[in-house]
């Protein structure tokens, strides 16, 4: 059953790691829901505690005294968030992404704030998950340590290629590593707790963790440091909102299944967080300086301390790496969809709206890959450096979403609405407070970057929308009916290099739709383009006179500065300004060669001229391009000798 789920999100607007079946008939229950919607939340259990301990690295083993208390605070906050999101699930059974909930209840500005926070959250999720996954890998295989950044970029590249190809991950790809991850960490926690209890609180580690020597200033444990640690540890909560986005995938009544899934996910997460906190204290596990040769991830130390570096160790760490990389992959599914919905509302360029051939939003995928790769390179692939940015984005999204729910209850009312409002208000206040704490404590560590990015994104969204609105206004022709009154034919300009079939084809088209044709030859002296002045009478004027029709005029311009393009554009502008009420049609003859390398043999003068005219020709201009196909040269020549025509008299074939 798992294998038939698809990662296609057509109905859901955005949100993390949601799988809508293309076949509406297949729905899931909580057990299947956990890997699909809970992967991100559970993955954060592996970098949250690590981030917390890394802040306390200076305290040495003393740190482990404080970890349980900070963890309890985080778990308490998680509880508030849990209760709040239970309400969102019930209120938005069709999926309550922060952008659409905010848009519906609080208007454009709030929804753009949510969009900016979510977009940054997705980008950082890729960076943090990939770098944490590689961090786990290099803990198990220390020789890879010096290739951290390269490995991170390799994973991003792989995810990009896979997603550009529009892969549809089956549920099994998520379920197996998720449950192996949960089961092995639960087993480690159970064994560790049992040993601790059995040994009276001082278990002997199988493989001793890195013992940090207390830092010089350890005696001074400031509250400031603990607040810092809390701020970093809060990243353990990221991903909790995903279930609220994915309600429709559950068996009806969907909100019941979704709530049960949320309960399961939060329950597992709480066990993992408390377990890690307990064992880090019992075994004296501290963080190691990231990016150095002594680095080993907290989870790796913990598993090794409890069960040793046997096969079980490698299974557990392998599942950690897999879960982290898969949680990065969910950003690749969700970020492009978020961008699409923003672009549909015209706050992002329309490229984000179009799907590629394989139904993937290629532009969004590339944007995500580029930005996360830049982050990984700038921050050298070390999770710890990215945590301050990540925590801001995630809590900004939480706060907006909860605040929008408060507005929702206020607007909608309904039975016992004030109780619902109170719960979401508690959630909003708690997450907002945390957000402020994080922002202040992490400001100089890089949180300001997130603030700048959010503000910059909102500004960008608004500028893009303003431009689209202006274009729509400027080009509006809502009820303008087409005007069929006869207008004067345009003045036609035909630039030509020499008298050949390519030029003749262009001239023929020109005389077909206007009696006022000027053939322009620019002589630069560089080429042996023969001046046509002497032959023009014979080639053009006499045949025209015989039929009594106006003949094209030859204009020969000598360019002292050998500037073909500029001279032609200047001539066209000159004609425009002398006839301000006329259209000027420039017929550009162009030789089209069948093979790409043959293009190297000819100056792309026709293409350059078309571009120059488009950009600098002015509003009277129309650019007409008559291609002449070298690989069809025999029919082209034949048409030259006997043109497609009906009726007509006078001189015929070439002489």
Given the complex with a second copy, which of 309 and 616 has the nearer CB atom?
616
Strand (E) or helix (H) holding 553:
strand 553-558
- Applying CB under 8 A, which of residues 213, 222, 292, 475 lies at the interface with a second copy? 475
Residue identified by tokens 């977009």 is 119
Q: What is the contact mask toward a second copy in residues 1 to 30, using x (rule: CB under 8 A)?
A: ------------------------------
Please, what is the minimum distance in Å from the beta carbon of residue 526 to a second copy?
5
Q: Which positions ≥6 away from 436 have C-beta within 8 Å?
A: none
CA distance 414 to 258: 22
CA 142 to chain centroid: 32
Please, what is the minimum distance in Å from the beta carbon of residue 514 to a second copy?
8
| 532-561 positions binding a second copy, by CB under 8 A | 538-540, 542-544, 547, 549, 552, 561
Any idea how long the chain is? 655
Q: Which stretch binds a second copy (CB under 8 A): 88-96, 204-212, 285-293, 599-607?
A: 599-607
Query: Taking the chain, what is the end-to-end CA distance rounded to the nearest angstrom?
Result: 79
| 568-597 positions binding a second copy, by CB under 8 A | 581-583, 590-593
Q: What is the contact mask toward a second copy in residues 152 to 191, using x (rule: CB under 8 A)?
A: ----------------------------------------
Please, what is the minimum distance in Å from the beta carbon of residue 96 to a second copy?
24
Given the complex with a second copy, which of 327 and 371 has the nearer CB atom?
371
- Applying CB under 8 A, which of residues 157, 440, 455, 471 lies at the interface with a second copy? 471
CA 95 to chain centroid: 21
- Applying CB under 8 A, which of residues 211, 440, 455, 600 lies at the interface with a second copy? 600
- Applying CB under 8 A, which of residues 43, 127, 134, 502 lies at the interface with a second copy? 502
Cα angle 99, 105, 110 (rounded to 5 degrees) comes to 50
CA distance 603 to 638: 26
Given the complex with a second copy, which of 6 and 508 has the nearer CB atom?
508
- The secondary structure of residue 438, as a DSSP letter, is H
Please, what is the minimum distance in Å from the beta carbon of residue 601 to a second copy?
5
CA distance 388 to 632: 63
Comparing C-alpha atoms, which of 227, 33, 234, 212 is closest to residue 128?
A: 234
Residue 624 found at the interface with a second copy (CB under 8 A): yes
Given the complex with a second copy, which of 314 and 633 has the nearer CB atom?
633
Please, what is the minimum distance in Å from the beta carbon of residue 16 to a second copy?
23
| 332-371 positions binding a second copy, by CB under 8 A | 344, 349-351, 353-355, 357
CA distance 566 to 622: 17
Q: Which stretch binds a second copy (CB under 8 A): 88-96, 174-182, 265-273, 615-623?
A: 615-623
Give the distance between the most distant pair of CA atoms in the chain: 117
Q: Please, what sign has the CA dihedral across residues 192, 195, 199, 203? A: negative
Instruction: For residue 220, give both structure tokens.
Output: 């001074």
Given the complex with a second copy, which of 219 and 534 has the nearer CB atom?
534
Are 580 and 564 contacting, i.e. CB atoms less than 8 angstroms apart? Answer: no
Q: Which stretch binds a second copy (CB under 8 A): 216-224, 246-254, 427-435, 611-619?
A: 611-619
- Applying CB under 8 A, which of residues 25, 201, 311, 654 lies at the interface with a second copy? 654
b/e burial code for range 208-222 (CB count within 10 A of at least 16 → b): ebeebeeeeebeebe
Given the complex with a second copy, which of 120 and 606 has the nearer CB atom?
606
What is the size of the binding site for a second copy (CB under 8 A)?
A: 106
Q: Which positions ≥6 away from 124 have C-beta within 8 Å?
A: 372, 375, 386, 389, 390, 393
Please, what is the minimum distance in Å from the beta carbon of residue 338 to a second copy?
16
Please, what is the minimum distance in Å from the beta carbon of residue 510 to a second copy?
10
Residue identified by tokens 């969700």 is 334
Residue 614 found at the interface with a second copy (CB under 8 A): yes
CA distance 296 to 288: 6
Given the complex with a second copy, which of 414 and 619 has the nearer CB atom?
619
Residue 509 found at the interface with a second copy (CB under 8 A): yes
Please, what is the minimum distance in Å from the beta carbon of residue 549 to a second copy?
5
CA 327 to chain centroid: 15
- Neighbouring CB atoms inside 10 A of 225's CB total 18
Please, what is the minimum distance in Å from the beta carbon of residue 581 to a second copy?
5
Measured torsion, CA atoms of residues 261, 262, 267, 269, in degrees rounded to the nearest 10: 110
CA distance 255 to 250: 8
CA 321 to chain centroid: 23
Given the complex with a second copy, which of 66 and 509 has the nearer CB atom?
509
Given the complex with a second copy, which of 380 and 651 has the nearer CB atom?
651
Given the complex with a second copy, which of 8 and 170 has the nearer CB atom?
8
Residue 482 found at the interface with a second copy (CB under 8 A): yes
- Applying CB under 8 A, which of residues 374, 489, 531, 558 lies at the interface with a second copy? 489
CA distance 440 to 228: 9
Please, what is the minimum distance in Å from the beta carbon of residue 591 to a second copy?
7
- Neighbouring CB atoms inside 10 A of 189's CB total 19
Given the complex with a second copy, which of 202 and 549 has the nearer CB atom?
549
Q: Which residues partner with 157 through β-bridges?
A: none
């Amino acid at each position: 059953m798992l294998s038939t789920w698809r990662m296609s999100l057509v109905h859901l607007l955005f949100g993390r790691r949601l799988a809508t079946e293309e076949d509406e008939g297949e729905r899931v229950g909580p057990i299947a829901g956990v890997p699909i919607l809970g992967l991100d939340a559970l993955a954060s259990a592996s970098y949250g505690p690590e981030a917390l301990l890394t802040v306390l690295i200076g305290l040495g083993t003393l740190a482990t005294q404080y970890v349980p208390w900070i963890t309890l605070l985080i778990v308490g906050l998680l509880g508030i968030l849990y209760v709040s999101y239970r309400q969102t699930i019930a209120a938005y059974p069709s999926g309550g992404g922060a952008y659409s909930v905010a848009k519906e209840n609080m208007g454009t500005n709030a929804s753009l704030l949510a969009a900016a926070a979510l977009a940054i959250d997705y980008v950082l999720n890729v960076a943090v998950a990939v770098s944490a996954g590689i961090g786990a890998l290099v803990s198990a295989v220390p020789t890879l340590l010096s290739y951290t950044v390269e490995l991170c970029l390799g994973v991003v590249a792989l995810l990009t290629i896979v997603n550009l190809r529009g892969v549809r991950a089956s549920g099994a790809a998520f379920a197996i590593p998720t449950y192996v991850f949960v089961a092995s960490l639960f087993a480690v926690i159970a064994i560790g707790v049992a040993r601790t209890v059995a040994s009276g609180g001082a278990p002997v580690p199988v493989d001793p963790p890195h013992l940090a020597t207390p830092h010089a200033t350890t005696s001074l444990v400031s509250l400031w440091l603990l607040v810092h640690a809390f701020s970093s540890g809060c990243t353990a909560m990221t991903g909790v909102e995903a279930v609220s986005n994915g309600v429709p995938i559950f068996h009806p009544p969907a909100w019941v299944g979704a709530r049960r899934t949320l309960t399961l996910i939060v329950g597992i997460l709480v066990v993992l967080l408390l377990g890690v906190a307990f064992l880090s204290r019992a075994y004296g596990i501290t963080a190691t300086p990231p990016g150095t040769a002594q680095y080993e991830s907290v989870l790796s130390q913990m598993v090794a301390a409890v069960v040793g570096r046997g096969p079980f160790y490698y299974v557990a760490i392998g599942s950690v790496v897999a879960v982290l990389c898969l949680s990065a992959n969910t950003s690749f599914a969700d970020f492009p969809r978020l961008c699409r919905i923003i672009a549909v509302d015209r706050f992002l360029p329309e490229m984000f709206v179009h799907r590629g051939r394989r139904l993937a939003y290629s532009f969004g995928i590339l944007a995500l890959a580029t930005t996360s790769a830049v982050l990984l390179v700038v921050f050298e692939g070390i999770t710890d450096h990215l945590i301050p940015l990540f925590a801001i984005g995630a809590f900004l999204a939480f706060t907006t979403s909860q605040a929008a729910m408060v507005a929702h209850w206020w607007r909608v009312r309904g039975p016992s609405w004030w109780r619902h409002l109170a719960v979401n208000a508690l959630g909003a206040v708690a997450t907002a407070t945390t957000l402020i704490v994080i922002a202040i404590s992490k400001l100089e560590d890089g949180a300001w970057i997130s603030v700048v990015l959010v503000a910059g994104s909102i500004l960008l969204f608004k500028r893009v929308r303003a431009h689209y609105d202006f274009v729509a206004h400027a080009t509006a022709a809502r009820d303008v009916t087409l005007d069929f009154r006869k207008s004067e034919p345009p003045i036609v300009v035909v630039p030509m290099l020499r008298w050949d079939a390519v030029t003749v084809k262009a001239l023929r088209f020109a005389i077909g739709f206007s009696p006022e044709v000027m053939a322009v030859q620019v002589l630069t002296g560089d080429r042996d383009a023969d001046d046509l002045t002497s032959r023009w009478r014979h080639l053009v004027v006499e045949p025209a006179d015989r039929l009594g029709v106006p003949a094209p005029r030859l204009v020969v311009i000598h360019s002292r500065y050998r500037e073909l393009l500029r001279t032609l554009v200047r001539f066209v502008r000159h004609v425009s300004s002398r006839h301000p009420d006329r259209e000027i049609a420039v017929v550009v003859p162009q030789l089209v060669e069948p093979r790409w390398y043959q293009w190297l043999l000819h100056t792309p003068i026709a293409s350059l001229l078309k571009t120059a005219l488009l950009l600098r020709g002015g509003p009277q201009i129309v650019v007409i391009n008559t291609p002449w196909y070298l690989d069809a040269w025999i029919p082209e020549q034949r048409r030259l000798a006997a043109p497609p025509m009906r009726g007509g008299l006078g001189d015929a074939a070439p002489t």
